[in-house]
Amino acid sequence: MKDISLQVEQTVKTYGGVVALADGNLSVRSGQVTALLGANGSGKSTLSKILTGVIAPNSGRILIDGKPASFNAPDQARRAGISAVYQELSLIPDLTVAENIWLGHEPLRAGFVHRAEMRARTRKLLALFGGLVKPNLQPDAAIDSLTPDERQIVEILKALSFDPRLIILDEATASLDSQQVNRLFELVRDWKTQGMAVVFVSHRMEEIFRIADKASVLRNGHTVGERDIAATNERELVDLMIEGAAVLGRERAPDVPADQPVRLRVQDLKTPVLRGVSLDLRDGELLGLGGLQGQGQADLLMAVFGAIRSSGRITVSGQERHFSHPRQAMQAEVALVPGDRGSEGLLLIRSILENLLLASWNRYNTPIRMPKARADGSTVGDDLKLVMASLDAPVSSLSGGNAQKVVIGKWLLRSPKLLLLNDPTKGIDVGAKAEFYNLLKQLRDAGTAILFYSSDDDELLGLCNRVLVLHDGAVSAELRGDGLTRENLVAASMGAA
Amino acid sequence: MNARLAGLLNRNPYLLSLVLLVLMIVINRALQDNLFEIGPLNGNLRVFTPAILLAVGQTFVIIAGGVDLSVGAILSMTNAILATQIPQEATAGVVVGALALAFGAGLLAGALNGFGVTVLRLQPIVTTYATGFIFSGVALYVLPEPGGRLPRDLTTFWRNPLEVSPDLHIPMAIFVIALLVIFWIVLTNTRYRQFLFATGSQADAAYSTGVRVNRVKFSTYLLSALFATLAALALTLGSGTGNPRAGDQSTLPSIVAVVLGGTRLSGGQGNIVGSIIGAVILGLIGNIISFADLDSWVRPLVDALIIIGALAIPGLIRLARRLLL
Amino acid sequence: MTTLNNIFQNRGRAAIPPPLVALVLGIVLFGVGGLLAPGFTNPTQAVNIVRLAAFLGIIAAGQTLVIISGGEGIDLSAGALVTLGAILTYRITDGQDSLILPALGIVLLVGAAIGLLNGVGIALLGMPPLVITLGMAGVVTGLVYFYTRGELIGKTPPAMGRLLSQALIGPIPGVIVLWLLLGAAMWLLLERTPFGKHLFAIGVNRTAARLSGVRVNRVVILTYMASGALAAFGGFVLLGFTQTVFLNLGQPFLFPSIAAVVVGGTVLAGGKGSYWGTMAGALVLQVIDSLLLALQVEEAFQLMILGAILLVLLTMYGRQRAVRQ
C-alpha cells in the first residue's frame, strides 16, 4: 500500500446561518491512528463528511500527499483512497449483504456482475469477524434481518472493500459488543502495519486511549488542539473539549420511602425484543435503565406508553391498563420523551409554540384561545430557560439542548405523574445536560415517577439510586446502593453478573 | 410455515399476481371457449401489447422511487407523429425517418421529465402530470383529429401471427414479451440494476456510497418514454391509424399493472415480469367485462371497482397479517 | 443564488408569505394581459375572473387539506366528485328551489362517503393516495355513468343561479361572498381548531405526531372525507354557474386545483400551507386561463402553455432538497 498523508486546513461549513464548522484542521499519516474528539455539535461529523465528499465545504484546503484535492461527490473521495464507516448507517435495506458491500464496485466479468466472485470475496471479508457473529450473517442475507452490530460490521467491511489508504471510523463501535470491538482493534493494528492511515472519531475515552496514537480536539467548530496520546491523559483532553466540565455530583438521592404509591408496575412484559421484564416504580423515584444499545430499553418505554404492542401486565396508578395508543397513556398522565427527537419528538418545520402545545391543544377550546396558549407556552419556556428568538421561530432553529427542552416542555405542560425518557441527553452539549439533570431532580423531588434509559453510564451513576440493566431483552441485574458501580454496570451490560 | 410463505412472497412478489393471472384466464376461458385458438389469442395479445410496454417502462421509474404520469400523453404524442409521418404509400426511408422522429420526440419528452425531477428537483407526481399536458398539447397540434392510414404491409406484418411452420403460428406479441424478459434478465446482471434498486430503496445511502443517483433517476424517465414510444408503435401498427387522445386513459392502468405485479410503489423492489403479468390481468378483466355482457352503462363502474379491488389486495393482505398475528 | 424558494424558506428573518406573492403575481398578470389582449384589463373582466376563480377555489379547498396532511397526500378523485355533485343536484332538485337544501345534504353525504373510502384505503390498507384516489376517480365516473345511463335529465333551480352566479351584494356575485366565507371557515379550521393543528402535525412528521397523542389514522380519514365533501360541494356550486351538466364537467378542474394549491405556497410534502394561498393561486390560474381564452388560443396550445406554466411555478415554489448539501 502506498503511503498517504492528508492535511485539512481551516475548513469552514455553514448551513444558512448555522456554523457547523468554523475552523477545522486535521493532519493524518500512514501507519497512524488519529482520534478526532469533540462534544456533540463540535463539528466532528461535519469534518469527516467533508473528507469523504458527502458535504462540500464553504472554504478551506485539503491536501493529499501535499497536493490540493477537492471532492464533488463521494466516489471522488473514494478514488483518492478515502473510505468511511459511519454510525448512521448507509446500508440499502432492499439489497443483500454482498450487494451492499460491493455497491458501485461490483466485480465484473465481461461487463456483467460476477455474482459468484462477489459472494466469495464477501465471505473472505466476513471471515475477518469470524466466530463473533451469528451464522445468519451470510453474503445473501437481507439487510433488514440483521441486528445492529451485524449491520455495523457490514458497514466496516464495506469501507474495507474499497481497499482504502485512509479509513475513517466515525463512532463505529457504538453498536458492537466488547469482543467485536477487540477484534476491530486487532484489525486496526494490522491496517497500521500495512500502511493505512486511520481516523477514529469517538467520544469513548477508554477506546481512544487503547487504539489511538494522537488526538485532535474540536470545540464549537474550531480545532483547539492536538496531542500525542502517550503524552496526555483523559482529563487534559476533556478540558480541551469543554469549557468547564459538567460535574455530576455523586450525591445519591435518599431512598424512596416505601409508603410512596407505586405509580408503575410492569409484570412479565414481552415484545419481539423483550423477553419478560418486570419492575416497580414509585412516585418520587428516578429509576434508571442501563445496558448496551438495542437490548430492549426503548421497547420497554414505548410499550408502557402504548406506542408499540406488547403482552404482559402493566398497572398504572393502581389500575391495570394496557394502552393501545399513546393518547390513552397521556390521558392516564403518562409522558414519553422519545429517543430521536428529530424524527420522533419534534415537528421540525413548525414553530416552537406549536411543538410545545402539540399534546395539549384540546385543552384550549374550539376555537383555540391563542393568547392563553401562548402564555402557557411562554411560561414553560421560561421555566426551562429556553433560549429562543420567539415562540414563532421554527424549532429547527434551536440548538440540540434547547430543542430537547421543547420536547420535555411539551410534556411538562401536562404535568405528568409518570415520565418516561429514552436516552434524553444524547447529542446535547454539556451546559444543557447540567440544566437537564437539575430539572430531573426537581421533578423527582416534586413526586413525579421517572423511568429513564441512558447510554451514558456516568449519568446513571450520578442520577439514579437504582438501575435495572437490560441485556438481550431481559433484566440482567438490578443495581442499587453500594452495588451501583461502573464495574457492575459494565459487567451486567455484557450479560455477566 | 407462515414465515416461510411470507419470506417466499417477499422475495418474489409477483407470485401472487400469477395466481390472479391464472384465475382471470380460467374465468375468461369459461366465458369465451375459443380463447386459446390462434385467432382470438393473437388478437388479445396484440391488444394487450401497448399496455404491457407502458407498464414495463413505468416499472423502471417506480423501482427508482418515482412515478411517470405522462406515459399516456407520450403515447398519444408519438402515435400522432407516426400516423402523420407514415403515409399509405411510404417507402422504407420514410418509415425510418418517421421512426427516428417519433423516438426522438419520445426521448426528448423523457429528458424533460428527467430534467424536471433531477435538475429542477421537482416532485415526480406533479411534474409528470404537468409535462403530460404539454405532450398532450403537442399530440393535438400534430394531429388535431383522429386520422392517418398506415401502409397495409406494415400493419399486416404486425397483426398476423408469425408462421414458423404450417402448424405453428406465434403471435408477434409473444416475441415482444420474450424480448422484454430477455432484456430484463440481462439487465439484472448489470451494475445498473444495483444502482437502480439502491436509488429507489434509500437514495441518500446510495448517494454516499457513490451511486450517481440523479443520473439513475434521469435514465428511468428516458426508459419510460422509450417504452411509451414503443407502445405507440405497437398501437399504431395494430390499429393502422392515429388518435391524438389514444393514451388519455392509459396512464392509470400502467400504474395499476405495476402494482398488481408486486412492485412496491415506494421503490426499491420490483420486477418487470410482474408488470407484464399485471398488464395481461387488466386486459383479461376488460375481456371478462365485455363477455359478461353487462349493460354498457354499468361497465365503467364494474371495471373501476375491479381495479380498486385489485389495488387493495396487497393492503388487505397486510391488514389480515397484522390482525391475525 | 437566491431563488424565490429561498425567500419563502423561513431564514429566521422576515419572509414574504407565499399567498401574498401569488396575489401580486395574479394582479401583475392581469395587467400584462391588457397588453397582450387589448381591452382585457377592465373591471367587468376582473369580477368575471374572480367569480370563475371562486369555483376553482372552492373545489381546491379539499385538495389543500389533503396536501397539508402529508404522506404524499393528493385527491385525484376531486374532478369526478365535482361532476357527481353537479349531476346529483341537477336531477334531485329538478328545477325546484325547495329541494336545494336536501340535495345539498345528499351531495355532501355522498362526497364524504367517497372520501371515507379513500381515507380508509390510505390509513388502514396503506394504499398510496395517488393510486387509490386515481382509482376512485374511475369508480365515481363509473357511478355517474351508472346513475345517469347517459341521460342528463334534470334542471337547475333558478335560485341557485340567482344567488351564486348573479350579483348578490352590490356588483359582487354570491359565489364570491360564499368563497370568502369559506376562506374564513378554512382559516378557522386550520389555525384555530385542534384538528387543524393535528393536521399540520401529521403532515410534518407522523411518528412524532402519534407519539404526541395524535390519532393519525382518524385525522387522515377525516381529511379525505372533508376533501370528498368539499369537492362534491364544489360541483353543487358549479351548477349555479353552468346551469347545465355534462359527463365531463368536473375533470378540467382537477389539475388546476392541484396547481392552485402549489402556487399558493402549500408544500407538496405536507405540513405547511394555508387556504389563503390556494385562493391566490386560483386567481393566478384563472387570470392565465381567461387570458388564453381572450387570445383565442387553440386547445393544443392551451394544454402546452398550462403545463409549461405549472412547471415554471413549481420550479419557483416546489423544489426539493438537493441530494448533495
Domain ranges of chain C: 55-317
Lowest mean pLDDT among B83-92, B186-195, B230-239: B83-92
Q: φ, ψ for residue B305 (rounded to 5)?
A: -65, -40
Q: Is B307 helix (H, G, I), strand (E, B) or coil?
A: helix
* A203-228 average pLDDT score: 87
For residue A306, the chain C residue with the least C-alpha distance is C211
User: Are A96 and A142 a contacting pair, CB within 8 Å?
Assistant: yes
Does the beta-carbon distance from B136 to C308 stay under 8 Å?
Answer: no
Give the pLDDT confidence of B265-308 residue by residue, as tens digits. 889 999 999 999 999 999 998 888 888 777 888 888 988 898 88
* A1-13 average pLDDT score: 86
ipTM of the predicted assembly exceeds 0.85:
yes
Residue C2, pLDDT > 50, answer no
Does the beta-carbon distance from C208 to A343 stay under 8 Å?
Answer: yes
For residue B191, the chain A residue with the least C-alpha distance is A113
Contacts of A482-491 with C-beta under 8 Å, sequence gap 24+, read A484/A460, A485/A461, A486/A457, A486/A461, A489/A290, A489/A457, A489/A460, A489/A461, A490/A457
Q: Is A63 helix (H, G, I), strand (E, B) or coil?
A: strand
How would residue C14 be classed by pLDDT, with cut points 50, 70 and 90?
A: very low
Select from A358, A362, A421, A422 the residue whose CB has the most chain C CBs within 10 Å, as the one to mutate to test that interface.
A358
How would residue A273 be classed by pLDDT, with cut points 50, 70 and 90?
A: confident
Is the CB of residue B312 less than 8 Å away from at least one CB of chain C? yes
Taking contacts as CB-CB distances below 8 angstroms, the residues of chain B near A89 are 205
Does the beta-carbon distance from C205 to A16 stay under 8 Å?
Answer: no
Q: φ, ψ for residue C172 (rounded to 5)?
A: -90, 120
**C97 Cβ neighbours under 8 A, 6+ residues apart:** C157, C158, C159
Q: φ, ψ for residue A215 (rounded to 5)?
A: -130, 135
Q: φ, ψ for residue A287 (rounded to 5)?
A: -90, 130
* Cβ-based burial of B92 (10 A; exposed 0-12, middle 13-18, buried ≥19): exposed
* A191-209 average pLDDT score: 88
- What percent of chain C shows pLDDT beyond 90? 50
Give the pLDDT confidence of B88-99 residue by residue, as tens digits. 887 888 899 999
Average pLDDT of every residue of chain B:
89
Facing residue for A359 by CB, picked from C188, C193, C212: C212
Q: φ, ψ for residue C52 (rounded to 5)?
A: -65, -40
Average pLDDT of every residue of chain A:
87
Q: Set out the domains of chain A in order of their start, with CATH numbers.
A: 5-241 (3.40.50.300), 262-494 (3.40.50.300)
Facing residue for A90 by CB, picked from B193, B208, B269: B208
Tell me what pLDDT residue B183 has.
Answer: 95
Interface of B with A in 169-198 (CB under 8 A): 186, 189-191, 193-195, 197-198
Strands B168-170 and A59-64, bridge-based pairing: unpaired
C-alpha span between A189 and A209 (Å, rounded): 14
Residue B321, pLDDT > 80, answer no
Tell me what pLDDT residue B15 has.
Answer: 76
Q: What is the dihedral of CA A228, A232, A233, A237, to 10 degrees?
A: -70
* Cβ-based burial of A80 (10 A; exposed 0-12, middle 13-18, buried ≥19): buried
Give the pLDDT confidence of A281-302 residue by residue, as tens digits. 999 999 999 887 677 899 999 9
Tell how far CA C56 is from the center of its chain: 6
For residue C261, the chain B residue with the least C-alpha distance is B126
Facing residue for C303 by CB, picked from B140, B207, B265: B140
One-letter identity of residue C35: L
Contacts of B299-306 with C-beta under 8 Å, sequence gap 24+, read B299/C142, B300/C138, B300/C141, B300/C142, B300/C145, B300/C146, B301/C139, B301/C142, B301/C143, B301/C145, B301/C146, B302/C142, B303/C138, B303/C142, B304/C135, B304/C138, B304/C139, B304/C141, B304/C142, B305/C139, B305/C142
The fold adopted by the segment(s) C55-317 is ABC transporter involved in vitamin B12 uptake, BtuC (1.10.3470)
Give the pLDDT confidence of A305-327 residue by residue, as tens digits. 999 999 999 999 989 998 999 99
Lowest mean pLDDT among B52-61, B288-297, C250-259: B288-297
* Predicted TM-score of the model (pTM): 0.85
Cα-trace Rg, chain C:
20
DSSP bridge partners of A226: A216
Nearest-neighbour CA in chain A from B146: distance (Å): 45
Which stretch of DSSP H or E encloses residue A292?
none
Tell me what pLDDT residue B103 has.
Answer: 96
Tell me what pLDDT residue A306 has.
Answer: 94
How would residue A252 be classed by pLDDT, with cut points 50, 70 and 90?
A: low
* Cβ-based burial of C297 (10 A; exposed 0-12, middle 13-18, buried ≥19): middle
C-alpha span between B193 and C34 (Å, rounded): 54
Tell me what pLDDT residue A495 has.
Answer: 63
**B281 Cβ neighbours under 8 A, 6+ residues apart:** B17, B20, B21, B24, B257, B260, B310
DSSP bridge partners of A67: A64
Which positions in chain A have a beta carbon within 8 angstroms of at least one beta carbon in chain B?
52, 54, 73-75, 78, 89-95, 99, 103-104, 106, 108, 111-113, 115, 158
User: Are A414 and A335 a contacting pair, CB within 8 Å?
Assistant: yes
Which positions in chain C have a beta carbon within 8 angstroms of at least one beta carbon in chain A?
10-12, 188, 191-194, 197-198, 200-201, 204-205, 207-215, 271-272, 324-325
Tell me what pLDDT residue C9 has.
Answer: 44
Residue C11, pLDDT > 60, answer no
Does the beta-carbon distance from C128 to B120 stay under 8 Å?
Answer: no
Which range is most confident: B115-124, B199-208, C112-121? C112-121
Beta strands in A213-283 (DSSP E): 214-219, 222-228, 262-270, 275-282
Give the pLDDT confidence of A144-174 residue by residue, as tens digits. 888 878 888 999 999 999 999 999 998 888 7
Give the pLDDT confidence of A68-93 residue by residue, as tens digits. 988 888 888 888 899 999 766 689 99
How would residue B139 be classed by pLDDT, with cut points 50, 70 and 90?
A: very high
Give the pLDDT confidence of A344-356 residue by residue, as tens digits. 999 999 999 999 9
Q: Is A476 helix (H, G, I), strand (E, B) or coil?
A: strand
User: Are B124 and B67 a contacting pair, CB within 8 Å?
Assistant: yes
Selection from C72, C85, C90 nearest residue C134 by Cα: C72
Average pLDDT of every residue of chain C:
87
Lowest mean pLDDT among A134-143, B5-14, C9-18: C9-18
Residue A261, pLDDT > 70, answer yes
Give the cell for residue A87.
454510525
Tell me what pLDDT residue B67 has.
Answer: 94
Select from A50, A103, A115, A143 the residue whose CB has the most chain B CBs within 10 Å, as the one to mutate to test that interface.
A103
Taking contacts as CB-CB distances below 8 angstroms, the residues of chain C near A344 are 207-208, 211
One-letter identity of residue A393: A
Give the pLDDT confidence of B227-271 residue by residue, as tens digits. 999 999 999 999 988 999 999 889 988 998 998 888 888 899 999
C-alpha span between B36 and B32 (Å, rounded): 9
Facing residue for C204 by CB, picked from A15, A325, A348: A348
